[in-house]
Amino acid sequence: MDMEVQKITIIDAEEISELLKYTANKGIEVSEDILSPLLSSISLQDTDSSNDVELSNSESVENSLSVIIAYSKLTKITAPVTGKTVIHSRKYRQSVRFIKYSAIFFLAISLLNEMVGMYLSDRSIPDDGFWTYVFGIHLYVVTPLSPIFWGGLGSCIFLLKRFSDIAADRTFDTDFIGGWQTRVLLGAILGGVIQYIFDPGFIVESGMDENALAFLVGLSVKVFYGALEKLIDAVAEKLNLDAIRRNKTEQNTFSELIVKRIAAGNLTEEQRNALLGLLDDSKR
């Protein structure tokens, strides 16, 4: 009776090959017990156009386990680099192309706004006509939104630099790039609102205009969050919010003690009514 044959899917040969190339380039020594199963796996997959290699049940289990164990050992040596991250790092430019397009968009609209502003600064505001609408749109629509564009540009530049550094370390993984839109949105929003949070005198004293400050906020959102948290703590201290929270906690503890005493029993009707009255008062 012929032995049953099944198809199995093992670790992709390209991932194994790229990780082995990485270890060779970095001068990382790989033992024979790791190298042999991986090279055998590459050879098997090269003989078949797909990654599905037909083997007997016993052979498939033995080969797949040896490859998985060997690859796992190798990734522990090269961590956080894996074959997958090496491949993704080489092709990372395709993954960040939408961030590049966003950066170009924010840069174009920001520079266009600056050029229009410079052009209009040498002209007097007409009473009527086309230029009246241009002045109005630039002054009341585009200019207030300008910090948002600069904040978004700062976020895009931060992400491009960050992903470039990760790709250079061969640790780029496309599975973790999905949140870039949120990062750009945060940078744009924070860049737009910072001028309304801090004293305008602070912006003047810093020697930067609103757009430059918005760009820096988009570039480093964490720094802004740190400053914002300190501001919130200062406001909480001035408003004595800590004392309010502390009193609320003490009130809850007092109510819990009353409930436990009532639940314990052994109370006269008069004592029980008195405790219930205290409990009602504490909840008001």
Amino acid 108: pLDDT: 95
**SS3 breakdown of the chain: % helix, strand, coil, rounded to 5?**
75, 5, 20
How far apart (Å, rounded) are the C-alpha atoms in residues 280 and 219?
53
Residue 203 near residue 213 (C-beta atoms within 8 A):
yes
> What's the token pair of residue 181?
């839109």
Threshold 0.85, pTM exceeds: no
What distance in Å separates the CA atoms of residue 19 and residue 22, rounded to the nearest whole number?
5
Are residues 107 and 83 part of one domain?
no
Number of neighbours of residue 251 by Cβ within 10 angstroms: 12
Question: For residue 235, is it within any domain?
Answer: no
* Domain end (from 190, 223, 256): 223
Looking at residue 111, its pLDDT comes to 93
Q: Within this chain, do residues 204 and 252 fall inside the same structural domain, yes or no?
A: no
| Same domain? 79 vs 110 | no
Residue at a domain's end among 56, 90, 124: 90
pLDDT band at 12 (very low <50, low <70, confident <90, very high): confident
pLDDT above 50: residue 2: no
Residue 53 has pLDDT above 50, yes or no: no
Long-range contacts of 68-75 (CB under 8 A, 24+ apart): 68/10, 68/11, 69/37, 70/33, 70/34, 70/35, 70/36, 70/37, 70/38, 71/11, 71/16, 71/19, 71/38, 73/34, 74/19, 74/20, 74/23, 74/30, 74/34, 74/38, 75/19
Q: For the chain, how many structural domains are there in total?
A: 3
Cis ω on the peptide bond leading into residue 37 (within 30° of 0)?
A: no
Q: Look up the domain containing 122 and give its range.
A: 93-223
Q: Are residues 218 and 269 in the same domain?
A: no
Q: Are 190 and 224 in contact (CB under 8 A)?
A: yes
235 or 118, which is more confident?
Answer: 118
Cα(57)–Cα(52) distance, integer angstroms: 14
Q: Looking at residues 255-274, what average pLDDT do you find?
A: 69
CA-CA distance, 198 to 231, in Å (whole number)?
9
Q: Which whole number is the average pLDDT over 177-202?
A: 83
Instruction: Tell me the C-alpha distance between 117 and 264, whole Å.
Output: 76
Specify whether 33 is located in the same domain as 61: yes
Residue 107 and residue 197 in one domain: yes
* Residue at which a domain ends, from 70, 90, 110: 90
Q: Are residues 83 and 98 in the same domain?
A: no
Residue 232 lies in a domain: no
| One domain for residues 217 and 256 | no
Measured CA to CA, the distance from residue 212 to residue 203 in angstroms comes to 10
- Residues 150/184, Cβ–Cβ less than 8 Å: no
229-248, pLDDT tens digit by residue? 777 777 767 666 555 455 45
Tokens representing 273 are 């009514």
Convert the pLDDT of each residue in 72-81 to its tens digit.
999 999 999 9
In a domain, 230, yes or no: no
CA distance 247 to 253: 10
